[in-house]
Structure 1
Amino acid sequence: MLQPEQFAGLATRLDNIAPFHVMELAKMAADLERQGRHIIHMGIGEPDFTAPQIVIDAASRAMADGRLQYTSATGLPELRQAISGYYRDRYRVDVAPSRIVVTAGASAALLLACAALVEKGAELLMSDPCYPCNRHFVAAFDGVAKMIASGPEHRFQLSADMVRDNWSSTVRGVLLASPSNPTGTSIENAELRRIVETVRERGGFTIVDEIYNGLRHDAEPFSALSLGDDVIVINSFSKYFNMTGWRLGWLVVPEQLVASIEKLAQNLFICASSVAQHAGLACFAPEALAIYEERKDEFRRRRDYIVPELQRLGFRVPVMPDGAFYVYADCSALSDDADRFTREMLEQAGVVMVPGLDFGPSTTRTHVRISYATSMENLREAVARLEKFLSGRS
C-alpha cells in the first residue's frame, strides 16, 4: 500500500501540522475497553451532558416538517437574531445580526477567519500552551503561529506586554482563547482590553475564541465584543450548549468583512446543517438556558472537588481554572516525562489524561490536561485509582 510520505502530490504545508496526540491516547483507551477494562475518560474535552430534550424536540420537528433544505451561507436569519439577543441579554452588548455568521462548528468559524485574514508568511501571536488545532488553522493557510511561552504567572495567557514585545513587521494579529483549552483560564478583562488596544495601534486584527465563555465561573459575563466592532469572536454550540456532534457554531465579524466571509462560506461549506440550526434556536429558550446554567453549576462543583484532590496527590495547580472544564496541572513532581506518565496511568490505572505534548513546547514534558467533564462518581473513582497508582510507583 502506498504510504502518505510516498505520495508525490502532498502539499508541503502538511509538514507544519502535527498529529493530534490526544487521539492516540483515545485509541489506546478504546483498545483496553475492547479487552474488558473499565476506563475513566478525563482526556477529550466533551461535556458528558447531551442536548436538552427541548433541543432534540426542535430537531425532530424540523425533520418531520421537511425543513432540511440549504439555508443561507450565513445561517437562518432567526438564529442570527437569537444569537444577537443572547449577546444583548447575557453580555449587555449590542451585536447586529448581520455581523453574525452561523458556521459548521467553531472549527469552521476559525477556518473562515483564517482564510480571510491569513496570508503566506503572516504571523499570528498565540500563547504557549494553546489548543493545537487553532495554530494548525493558521498553518493551513501558510501562516505562522508565533507561540509565546505564557506561564502561570500570566495565567497561561498572553499579555499586552507580550504582544508589544513580540510584534514585528510580519505579525498580522493575535489569536486568543478565553477561557482557554487546555488551561481553563481566562484573560482578565482589563488585560484583554489592553491587548486589543495594543493590536489596534499596530493595525492588526484580534480573534478571540470564546467557545468556553458560557462556562466562565468566577466573574460576571463578559465578551470581547464589548471592546469594539473590530474584534472578531468565535463561539460554538458544542460546550456550553452541549451539542458537540451537531457541528454548529458562529463567527462575529466587523460589517466590512461579512461579504468576504459569506463568499468563503458559500464556496467552502454552502451552509451549516439546517437541522442543527433549527435545533440551535431552541437553545435560547428560557427553559433550555435554565438547564444550561444548572449544568454550569455542576461543572463548577466538579472543579472545586478535583483541584484539591489533584493537589493532595502531588500535582501542582498553580492557577485555579476559572472556566471551561479543564485543569492544567504540573506533574513534574511525579514524573519527568508527561507523555510516558499518561501512558502508564492509562495502562495501570485505567484513567485517561492528556500530556502537554499537544499544547506547545514550553509545557510538553511537565504538564497534563485533566478534563472534569465527567460525573462526580467517575471523578471520585479516578482519584482512588490515581492514589493507588501513585503509591505503587513510590
Structure 2
Amino acid sequence: MHNNLASRLLNIAPFHVMELAKMAAELEKEGRNIIHMGIGEPDFTAPQVVIDAAARAMQNGNLQYTSALGLPDLRLAISKYYLEYYQLTIPASRIIVTAGASAALLLTCAALVDPGSEVLMPDPCYPCNRHFVAAFEGVARLVECGPEVGFQLTDELVREHWTTASKGVLLASPSNPTGTSIPRAELAKIIATVKAKQGFTIVDEIYQGLSYDDEAFSALSLDGDVLVINSFSKFFNMTGWRLGWLVVPERIVPQIEKLAQNLFICPSTVAQYAALACFSNEAMKIYQQRKAEFKRRRDFIVPALRKLGFKVPVTPDGAFYVYADCSGFSDNADLFTRDLLQKAGVVIVPGLDFGSYTARKYVRISYATSMENLQEAVLRIENYLRQQ
C-alpha cells in the first residue's frame, strides 16, 4: 500500500523540533528535570475571561457550525482591533477566521500556488511555510539571508532571485526562528517590486503583537493587495485552541470562502466564542503585561547567551526567540543540541529545521518560559560548556 503514497511527501521533511521534544519526554519519564526552550509556545494560557467565554458558549449550546468565514461578531472584533491598535481601517468583510494560522497559510497557498510556481522566502524561515507551498506542488525558493540583513529578505535579494517561475514571496515579521522584523521602508519596497512583477506578497504576522523595540505595524498599512496571516496562538496565548485569521483583498474573499467551505467547513465554534473575549479591556490589559514580561526575559537571555560565548549577531526585536551562533562550541548544531539535552537537561533546537544556510551553525532558543527557568538554563549551559 505504501507504494501508492503521493510523491509530494518526498518534499516534506519531519519537524526536528518535535523529535527533540520526544527525546526530552523520554528523559522526563526517567525522572530527569528538563527545561524546555525548544517549542515556540507561550507558557501563559488564555486569561480567565477567555476561558469563561468558552464555558458560556458550551453552556448555552452555541456549538453549531459557523460560516466558513467565521463568526460575524469575531470578524468585526478583529476589524476593530486593527483600528484601535494599528489605526487601520480593515473592513470585516476582508477578514476570514481560520483553524489556526496554519489553515490560513494552507488556504492562501491553495488559492495562489500553481504546480511549479516558485515562492521566495528567507533561509532561515519557519519550516512549515515551505511545506505549505510544497503541498500544492509549488517550489519554495529559499534565499540565503544572513545576520547582515537581519535574516530577512530585502528588496535587493528579491530582485536578484526572482525568476520567470517566481509567483510571489512569503515573509514573516517578526520571524520564527530569528525574532527579527523587516523594517517598514524595506517591506514597502519588497511589496512594490513583487507587485510590479504581478506577484503576490503573503506576510505572516502571528508575532506582530509581540514587537518590543519599534512601534508595531502591519503590512496592511503599506498595500491593500497584501495577504496577511495572524493568529490567536502567540500574543493571545491560545495555542491549542487552533484559531487564526487571514486578511485578503475583497475580490478574492469568495475564492477563499469556497476553499474554506470544502477544506475546513468552519473553524472551532467554541474557540471563536472564546476569542471574542480576547479583545475585552480586561484581557488586553493582561496581554500587555505578558508582553512586558516577554521583553524582560529577552533583555535577560540575550546578554546572558553572549556572556556564555554564543554569538547573537542580531538582537531579536519581537516574538520569543533568539537565533544564536553556536559555532564557537561546535561545528554541528544538531549534535550540540542533542548533547546539551542529554547532559544538561536543556532543550534548544538546531537550525536544521529552518533551512540549510544556517543549519550547522545556529540554534533557536525560545524564551517563552519562566524567568526562573531561564536563569537555571543559563547555569546549566554554563556548567555544560565548562566541561567540554
Provide Cα deviations, 1:71-121, integer angstroms capped at 9, x if missing partner. Answer: 000000000000000001111111010000000000000000000000000
Which residue of 2 is the match for residue 136 of structure 1?
131
> What TM-score comes out, normalization by structure 1 length?
0.98
2:173 is the counterpart of 1:175: no
Provide Cα deviations, 1:253-310, integer angstroms capped at 9, x if missing partner. Answer: 0011100000000000000000000000000001100100000000000000000010
Question: Post-superposition, which runs of at least 4 consecutive aligned residues in structure 1 deviate over 2 A?
Answer: none
2:19 is the counterpart of 1:16: no
The answer as to whether partners of 1:176 and 1:207 remain within 8 angstroms in 2 is: yes
Measured on the aligned residues, the alpha-carbon RMSD in Å equals 0.5
2:274 is the counterpart of 1:279: yes
Between the aligned partners of 1:91 and 1:197, the Cα distance in structure 2 is: 21
SS at match of 2:291: helix
The answer as to whether partners of 1:185 and 1:323 remain within 8 angstroms in 2 is: yes
Q: Percent identity?
A: 70
CA drift of 1:228 comes to 1.5
Provide Cα deviations, 1:313-363, integer angstroms capped at 9, x if missing partner. Answer: 110000000000000000000111000000000000000000000000101
2:60 is the counterpart of 1:65: yes
Which residue of 2 is the match for residue 254 of structure 1?
249
SS at match of 1:362: coil
Residues paired across the two proteins, number = 388
Provide Cα deviations, 1:17-75, integer angstroms capped at 9, x if missing partner. Answer: 01111111000000000000000000000000000000000000000000000000000
Match of 2:222 among 227, 235, 240: 227
Which residue of 1 is the match for residue 312 of structure 2?
317
Which residue of 2 is the match for residue 77 of structure 1?
72
2:154 is the counterpart of 1:159: yes
2:49 is the counterpart of 1:54: yes
Which residue of 2 is the match for residue 356 of structure 1?
351
Between the aligned partners of 1:271 and 1:78, the Cα distance in structure 2 is: 15
2:168 is the counterpart of 1:149: no
Between the aligned partners of 1:177 and 1:276, the Cα distance in structure 2 is: 24
2:295 is the counterpart of 1:263: no
SS at match of 1:208: strand
2:384 is the counterpart of 1:389: yes
Between the aligned partners of 2:143 and 2:326, the Cα distance in structure 1 is: 21
CA drift of 1:168 comes to 1.3
One-letter amino acid of the counterpart of residue 192, structure 2: E
Structure 1 segment 174-253 matched on structure 2, within 5 A: 174-253=169-248
CA drift of 1:221 comes to 2.3
SS at match of 1:283: helix
Which residue of 2 is the match for residue 3 of structure 1?
none
Between the aligned partners of 1:98 and 1:66, the Cα distance in structure 2 is: 26
One-letter amino acid of the counterpart of residue 81, structure 2: Y
Structure 1: gaps of 5 or more residues? 1-5
Provide Cα deviations, 1:94-150, integer angstroms capped at 9, x if missing partner. Answer: 101000000000000000000000000000000000000010000000000000000
The answer as to whether partners of 1:90 and 1:221 remain within 8 angstroms in 2 is: no
2:368 is the counterpart of 1:343: no
Between the aligned partners of 1:159 and 1:221, the Cα distance in structure 2 is: 19
Which residue of 2 is the match for residue 90 of structure 1?
85
Structure 1 segment 28-47 matched on structure 2, within 5 A: 28-47=23-42
One-letter amino acid of the counterpart of residue 265, structure 1: A
One-letter amino acid of the counterpart of residue 24, structure 2: A
Provide Cα deviations, 1:361-393, integer angstroms capped at 9, x if missing partner. Answer: 101100000000000000000001001000000
Between the aligned partners of 2:229 and 2:354, the Cα distance in structure 1 is: 20
Between the aligned partners of 1:173 and 1:181, the Cα distance in structure 2 is: 20
SS at match of 1:175: strand
SS at match of 1:213: coil
CA drift of 1:171 comes to 0.2
CA drift of 1:9 comes to 1.0
CA drift of 1:169 comes to 1.1
Provide Cα deviations, 1:164-189, integer angstroms capped at 9, x if missing partner. Answer: 11111100000000000000000011
One-letter amino acid of the counterpart of residue 107, structure 2: L
